[in-house]
Chains A and B, each alone.
Chain A
Amino acid sequence: MTGQPALRVQGVRKTFGDHAALDDVSLDVREGEVVVVIGPSGSGKSTLIRCVHQLEAIDAGAIYLDGELLGHERHRGGLRALGERRVAAQRSRMSMVFQQFNLIPHFTVLRNITEAPVRVHRRARSEAESEAMELLERVGLADRAHHYPRQLSGGQQQRVAIARAVATKPRITLFDEPTSALDPELVEDVLRVMRGLAADGMTMVVVTHEMAFASEVADRCVFMEAGRVVESGPPSELFTAPRSARLRSFLARHHNARPTTSTVESVS
């Protein structure tokens, strides 16, 4: 039970040209844990998520899912990069929700959700469809199953994207600012769905600027700046007693922008 973490990020470094977007980042996520990543723009939050999901190759360090090294295999006493198909198979055990939703425009809502279960996980279509309908019911969009993504509002599209992400029963779901592209009045619908997933025990890594959500749902909060993890701990500690000056000033800026996040009160 106290064994290996679901996700282990260990000393990861990622550079774009000579700019280090991630610099010696380490992070463990236990099964069922909700980890929220916060930090200023450009601090490497998206890069971290994309590296975990193997959308970007890392330059140093290692990432493990359930103890299995991602993106590389042992070969003749060293490591070598995996082929794209093997990487795809590793990815299929994780899921990702994007800031811009990225639903497939020529697939209906239902097809977006069933595509991975049917094509990747080889599930029977009828079975995948009935499960997808249950998920749509949960996110309140059952009546939109046969619509195309362009016919939905941003908030609705993001809820479909979340249903798509969890349809494959991933070991871990990664969220990259899922509410940042939404109008304020649509944010709450999406957060409600995410709270429900957290309550069900889904393992989640969430990049967000929604501090109220972070303090309410996160088991652990990670503050990043300039490609490094500066501070991490339970949100109650991090938000009320920040140790570093940088986190203090980050929180101060966010308090000014969002008055609801001043304390650790939960929003119903």
Chain B
Amino acid sequence: MTTLSAPPSEAFDDVATARRRARPWRWAAGLALAAVAAQLAWFLVNNDRFEWDVVARYLFEPTVLSGLATTVLLAVVAMAIGSVVGGLLAAAQLSDFAPLRWAATVYVGVFRGIPPLVQLIFWFNLAYLLPRISIGIPFGPEFASWDANTVITPLTAAVIGLSLVESAYMAEIIRAGLLGVDSGQRDAAKAMGLTPAQTFARVVLPQAMRVIIPPSGSQFISVLKGTALVSVIAMADLLHSVQVIYNRTYQIVPLLIVACLWYLVVVTVLTIGQRWLERHFSRGHTAATSARRPTVSTSDGAAA
């Protein structure tokens, strides 16, 4: 019956009795990693230039905490505005109305192409180019107008600059996510009689989210670190708040460590949130996903 060679002996083989393979390279790699970790720990603890006591003293300093709050707030606002605008831009890029597509493509090209640092300085100096900011119909009547110098504070310049950059990146991420959804899903949703809005919100977006979330998480982390740039326009973010202190005390290294520790804490929290979202949106997408409610009886023979 079988073309494979039969076992030579009359006894049956049983893989349950098999021994594990020895994996010497894994042990070697493990030992090497342990050695590196030990060396690093020794360096961190025994090099007194780190001045861990100074780190501890400033870690919860009120100005540092308020800088941290500013950093987190800026990142969250830039990410929120960036996601919404990015979503609209992605929709525009996928539109079948060509001028909309072109406009979105130019927007993304420009704000993704210019270094964020340059954009921040540019927005901060907007008043030079545009002394008055007004809302109205282009070339027509104005409804309201403000003096640019009072509107463009470090805060608004930072929010505008970071949000614009963010929206350009998010547009690309969201566009790729939407394109990744099988066209059969759109067909099925339409065939069920769902309206375009229902099709998007209930069928397409949840599936696109699986593709959108991982790069968005990285994007959120890079925007968080990107907020450090706003210290150049004298915005009191985390980095700026430790700079103010070390400019006075000259304890540069320990204060930078204070900032690093806080950046790492926030990034870790974000990463945990990202993993949670990934699990949420992978529902039903892996064969191993268990049903939310277990079935009452799992008698298999009932089928057909």
Interface set of A (CB-CB < 8 Å, partner B): 50, 53-55, 84-85, 88-89, 91-93, 95-96, 98, 100, 102-108, 115-116, 119-121, 140-151, 156, 164, 168, 189, 192
**Residue B295 at the A interface, CB < 8 A?**
yes
**Residue B185 at the A interface, CB < 8 A?**
yes
Docked pose: A116 CA to B299 CA in angstroms:
29
Please provide the 3 A-B residue pairs with the shortest distance between their CB atoms, ordered closest to farther. A92-B193, A102-B188, A148-B284
**Residue B62 at the A interface, CB < 8 A?**
no
Q: Please list 12 pairs of residues, one from A and one from B, whose beta carbons are closer than 8 Å in the complex, sorted by A's number.
A: A50-B187, A84-B195, A91-B193, A92-B192, A95-B191, A96-B191, A98-B184, A105-B207, A106-B283, A119-B198, A121-B193, A168-B192
Contact present for B184 and A102 (CB under 8 Å): yes
Contact present for B188 and A103 (CB under 8 Å): yes
Contact present for A119 and B299 (CB under 8 Å): no
Partner of B193, one of A88, A141, A151: A88
Docked pose: A141 CA to B300 CA in angstroms:
10
B185 → chain A closest CB, angstroms: 6
Contacts of A103 in B (CB 8 A): 188
Contact present for A91 and B190 (CB under 8 Å): yes
B292 → chain A closest CB, angstroms: 7
Given contacts A91-B191, A116-B192, A150-B286, contact A100 B184 (CB under 8 A): yes
* Closest B residue by C-beta to A170: B193
Majority secondary structure, B binding face = loop
Partner of A88, one of B195, B202, B285: B195
**Interface size range of chain B in the complex:** 35 or more
B156 → chain A closest CB, angstroms: 39
Given contacts A88-B193, A88-B196, A100-B184, contact A146 B303 (CB under 8 A): no
Docked pose: A53 CA to B191 CA in angstroms:
7
Interface set of B (CB-CB < 8 Å, partner A): 182, 184-185, 187-196, 198, 202-203, 206-207, 281, 283-287, 289, 291-295, 297-300, 302-304
Contact present for A168 and B195 (CB under 8 Å): no
* Closest B residue by C-beta to A103: B188
Contacts of A143 in B (CB 8 A): 295, 297-300, 302-303
A128 → chain B closest CB, angstroms: 13
Given contacts A143-B299, A143-B303, contact A108 B291 (CB under 8 A): yes
* Closest B residue by C-beta to A165: B191
* Closest B residue by C-beta to A115: B192
Contact present for A156 and B293 (CB under 8 Å): no
Docked pose: A100 CA to B182 CA in angstroms:
11
B83 → chain A closest CB, angstroms: 20
Docked pose: A139 CA to B299 CA in angstroms:
16
Contact present for B295 and A106 (CB under 8 Å): no
Contacts of A142 in B (CB 8 A): 302
Contact present for A119 and B303 (CB under 8 Å): no
Contact present for A105 and B190 (CB under 8 Å): no
Docked pose: A192 CA to B299 CA in angstroms:
22
Docked pose: A168 CA to B293 CA in angstroms:
25
Docked pose: A104 CA to B182 CA in angstroms:
11
B2 → chain A closest CB, angstroms: 23
Docked pose: A89 CA to B300 CA in angstroms:
39
Partner of A120, one of B194, B196, B294: B194
Docked pose: A92 CA to B196 CA in angstroms:
13
Contacts of B293 in A (CB 8 A): 146
Docked pose: A98 CA to B189 CA in angstroms:
12
